[in-house]
């Protein structure tokens, strides 16, 4: 799991069992940097207040966040990971 600037946005890319997923890197609760949190399976936890999101869908798994994370399409071409923002 790592964050990258893409198209003027800060996004998170997570590799889970060889599959890549991308959501915004700013927690929808108060903007915490999700890439600095923990990834357990498909769930990333914000390091500030513990909100959790499913990296596959952006869905909130645990509050205090109420809004889902925007999800981005990911495509792998050879050794490149491409993200549509």
pLDDT score for 11: 97
∠ CA 41-8-73, rounded to 5°: 40
46, 37 Cβ separation under 8 angstroms:
yes
Identify the pLDDT of residue 14: 98
The domain 2-84: what is its CATH number?
A: 2.102.10.10
d(CA 48, CA 40): 16
At 68 the pLDDT is 98
Question: Model's pTM, two decimal places?
Answer: 0.94
Region at 61 (left for phi over 0; alpha for psi -120 to 50; beta for the rest): alpha
Q: Where are the domains of the chain?
A: 2-84
pLDDT along the chain (85 residues), means of 10: 94 97 98 98 98 98 98 95 92
């Amino acid at each position: 799991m790592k964050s990258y600037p893409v198209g003027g946005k800060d996004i998170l890319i997570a590799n889970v069992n060889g599959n890549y997923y991308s959501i915004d890197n700013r927690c929808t609760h108060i903007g915490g940097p999700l890439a600095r949190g923990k990834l357990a399976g498909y769930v990333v936890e914000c390091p500030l207040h513990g909100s959790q999101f499913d990296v596959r869908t952006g869905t909130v798994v645990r509050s205090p966040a109420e809004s889902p994370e925007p999800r981005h399409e990911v495509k792998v071409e050879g050794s490149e990971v491409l993200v549509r923002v």
